[in-house]
Amino acid sequence: MSHVSSVPQADDLTPPPPRKHGRFSARKSMEAEIRDLRDFISEVLPTAIPRRYAELDGQIKQLEEMREQLRKEHEQEKRELTEVRKEHAKLRVEVVELRDEAILQEVGVYDYRHPMESASDYKEVLTELRKQIRGAVRDGHAVSATTANWTVNDSKSKGRKMIRDTSKLLLRAYNNEADTLVDKLRPHRIEAAIARLDKSRAAINRLGAQPMEIAITAQYHELRTVELRLAADWLKKKDEEKMEAKAEREKLREEAKARKEIEEKRKGLLKERAHYAALVQKLREEGNESEAAEQEQALEKIDIDLADVEVRAAKTGAGHVYVISNVGTLGEEMVKIGMTRRLDPLDRVKELGDASVPFGYDIHALVFSDDAVSLERDLHRQFESRRVNLVNLRREFFYVSPGEVRDALEQHESAVLTEFVEEPEAAEWHMSENTRRRNGAPN
């Protein structure tokens, strides 16, 4: 009698369940169970166990392969993350450098990429460069395109025409962007302009990449980039020359006023001398020697004054160095150190305080020197690092206190410091502040 029907399937490793048996058939049932187990052991286990081991080995191998793949992906992600961090750090440095450069350029500290002597020199170089740009377009060096046979409706000539027309269209778009950047260029925004031109080229090259492989060449892009830099340098140099010319005109006007004052003073003294000389002669003719001697003393004083005027006229460097401040306008710890050849230096100080500033200047010192130009230059050099305007050196303002200038003057051999006012009076400013406080107005 066969018992195979009660044996489990080959892939089932669960042994057959125990048989139910009655009170008087227990022996037979036990014998049947033993036969079932023997059949299970002899027929099922020899094939099922190796198969299950094989299945488990396969699963283990799959898991190991998955683990290895995950490990490789993890390592790749780590490498990519490292590269991203490096690129991020590099970009942060570049951003800081560009920001620092932009800040410096915005306040006027401009870095010339192509230093030249004058704006006209830049203009000449720009003219030659633009000839090269036109030549590159004319000779076909501005745009590159595919050399593969390109057809339109099976026509190669139409295909070539389509490539030419598309190339012209993309080049026109690029040139329009470059021309606009040049026309609207501000020197301190040069890096932003170049970055925008780079992006324009990249965008245009992406448009032309498929399927004709049209692109703005690196050579042409470099020419237009150099044009931008030269244009920025040219504009900056023009501004500097304009400021220098304005300062020179101011200097010439000041010198003309000084010469006019000296000439008017000379004429006045000569006229006064002639008057006293005639008076002395008349008194002597009348025999009034005592009165004549008294008037001769006045005549001698006029001669001394006249000699001083002649010296001032002959010595173009002679004049007064002034130290002035304006607390209400400029704040504390800032002074202006300048020089004037005016016979009355107060006239120059008064002009500086007229209309252009809300409060007049306070005078800390007026120092006469036969070489006031050198004295002024020495003081400027001593406080060079504390200039307010680091670009236009004709702006003679410094972040120094009046006391520091006094100390510098006392150490200078050619400076004869007869009087120095330490604290500025700033009368109008103090009165304005008091009135403002009484009225409850904001400071």
State whether residue 11 is helix, strand or coil. coil
Predicted local confidence at residue 174, as pLDDT: 93
CA distances from 148 to 145, 159, 163, 216 (A): 9, 10, 11, 18
Residue 434, C-beta contacts closer than 8 angstroms, at least 6 positions apart = none
Residue 167, C-beta contacts closer than 8 angstroms, at least 6 positions apart = 143, 145, 208, 214
Q: What is the pLDDT of residues 249-306, one digit of tens each?
A: 887 788 888 888 888 888 888 888 888 888 888 888 888 888 888 888 888 898 888 8
* Residue 396: closest CA among 321, 318, 315, 320: 321
Model-level pTM greater than 0.85?
no
Provide, rounded to the nearest whole percent, the portion of the chain with pLDDT above 90: 24
* Domain segments of the chain as ranges: 1-106, 119-245, 317-443
The token pair at 61 is 């191998």
Distance CA 241, CA 119 (A): 8
State whether residue 147 is helix, strand or coil. coil
Q: What is the pLDDT of residues 349-361, one digit of tens each?
A: 888 887 678 888 9
Of 112-116, 242-246, 416-420, 434-438, the poorest mean pLDDT is in 112-116
When pLDDT is cut at 50, 70 and 90, the band that residue 9 belongs to is: very low
Residue 149, C-beta contacts closer than 8 angstroms, at least 6 positions apart = 156, 159
Q: What is the pLDDT of residues 91-115, one digit of tens each?
A: 666 555 555 555 555 544 566 666 7
**367 bridge partner residues:** 321
